[in-house]
């Protein structure tokens, strides 16, 4: 699926890299334990989490993730936004909680697979 | 990391990687003082004063194979999220002391995990590495010293599968006597 499409359809807020959203998303990963994402996330996945610490940018970069979505209306601080822009990491936001957001994401992935 | 022992392992890996021959570990697990405290002191390469602050930054690493160095950064983050912190004292060419702690009763504070695995692995990772480990709880203290072990073994290298297994069992049994169940 295309990231730009996902952003529109799920009404996600874009915190960084507004010019770098035309990329592929090959699935998703949900976890709030950074070491867990480090171990099991795959490249080009979209990562859904409530962790806003700057370290999420390092993890996303290391694992080659398409984007990181912060749930429940949480926002990254200035420091994190700056680092993410520097490292070209897409940080997005959703007002919804993980369960609802991932439910919708999953449905879209299934739909697009069927097409 | 899912357990405190894995965070300790990250720090110990750094000590070994950066050339330590002597490592002293202190763990204080005290409900009374509401603290879970770890201290690792080594005689490895050390960190330059100007790099100490950067050492806990995920994007700073002196390793050449990757761009990010996460062990210290993630441990510091976890410690701070559990009402604790991580501090580094170091002198380049002399060694490093890393201290990190968590509020014992904090709900996000990970369980200890299998610390005997981590300590024994550290002690047997490299030949002739000396490890002193002290574990203090409200119930008592346990002290482990590879120098003492080597004396008892009279020349048999501790880097031997049967000995490693025995050491882990011994350590676990001793710790079980002073650890208070979570």
Per the CB < 8 A criterion, the answer to whether B127 and B157 are in contact is: yes
Partners of A38 on chain B (C-beta within 8 Å) are 70
Determine the pLDDT at residue B69.
Answer: 64
Chain B closest-CA separation from residue A42 CA (Å):
17
Task: Please choose, from the candidates B48, B42, B44, B69, the residue with its C-alpha nearest in 3D space to the C-alpha of residue B58.
Answer: B69
Is pLDDT at B63 greater than 90 in this prediction?
A: no
The pTM assigned to this predicted structure is 0.88
Q: How many CB pairs under 8 A join A and B?
A: 32
What is the pLDDT averaged over residues B92-103?
A: 97
Tell me the residue ranges of DSSP E strands in chain B.
22-30, 35-42, 85-91, 95-103, 130-137, 141-145
Is the minimum CB–CB distance between B156 and chain A shorter than 8 Å?
Answer: no
Partners of A80 on chain B (C-beta within 8 Å) are none
Per the CB < 8 A criterion, the answer to whether B97 and B39 are in contact is: yes
Determine the pLDDT at residue A113.
Answer: 81
Is pLDDT at B144 greater than 60 in this prediction?
A: yes
What is the pLDDT averaged over residues B71-76?
A: 93
Determine the pLDDT at residue B127.
Answer: 82
Per the CB < 8 A criterion, the answer to whether A46 and A28 are in contact is: yes
The DSSP 8-state label assigned to residue A24 in this structure reads B
Determine the pLDDT at residue B64.
Answer: 54
Q: How confident is the model at residue B159 (pLDDT cuts 50, 70, 90)?
A: confident
% of chain A residues with pLDDT over 70:
100
CB-based contact A35 B73, cutoff 8 Å: no
What is the pLDDT averaged over residues B72-88?
A: 96
CB-based contact A55 B2, cutoff 8 Å: no
CB neighbours of residue B15 within 10 Å: 27
CB-based contact B67 A55, cutoff 8 Å: no
Is pLDDT at A52 greater than 70 in this prediction?
A: yes
B49-61 pLDDT, tens digit per residue, is: 999 988 898 887 6
């Amino acid at each position: 699926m295309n990231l730009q499409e996902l952003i529109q359809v799920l009404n996600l807020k874009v915190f960084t890299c507004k010019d770098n959203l035309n990329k592929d998303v090959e699935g998703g990963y949900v976890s709030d334990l950074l070491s867990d994402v480090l171990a099991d996330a795959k490249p080009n996945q979209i990562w859904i989490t409530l962790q806003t610490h700057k370290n999420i940018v390092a993890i996303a970069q290391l694992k080659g993730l398409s984007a990181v979505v912060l749930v429940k209306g949480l926002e990254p601080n200035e420091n994190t936004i700056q680092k993410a822009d520097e490292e070209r990491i897409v940080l997005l936001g959703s007002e919804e909680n993980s369960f609802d957001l991932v439910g919708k994401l999953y449905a879209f992935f299934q739909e697009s697979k069927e097409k | 990391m899912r357990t405190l022992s894995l965070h300790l392992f990250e720090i110990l890996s750094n000590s070994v990687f950066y050339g330590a021959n002597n490592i002293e570990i202190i763990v204080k697990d005290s409900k009374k003082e509401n603290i879970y405290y770890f201290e690792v002191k080594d005689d490895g390469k050390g960190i330059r004063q100007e790099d100490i602050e950067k050492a806990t930054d995920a994007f700073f690493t002196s390793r050449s194979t990757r761009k990010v160095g996460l062990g210290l950064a993630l441990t510091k983050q976890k410690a701070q999220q559990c009402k604790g912190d991580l501090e580094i004292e170091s002198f380049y060419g002399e060694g490093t002391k890393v201290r990190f702690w968590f509020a014992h009763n904090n709900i996000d504070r990970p369980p200890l995990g299998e610390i005997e695995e981590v300590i024994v692995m550290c002690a047997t990772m490299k030949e002739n590495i000396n490890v002193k480990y002290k574990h203090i709880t409200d119930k008592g203290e346990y002290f482990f010293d590879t120098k003492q072990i080597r004396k008892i073994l009279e020349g048999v290298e501790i880097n031997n599968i049967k000995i490693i297994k025995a050491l882990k069992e011994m350590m676990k049994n001793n710790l079980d006597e002073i650890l208070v169940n979570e």
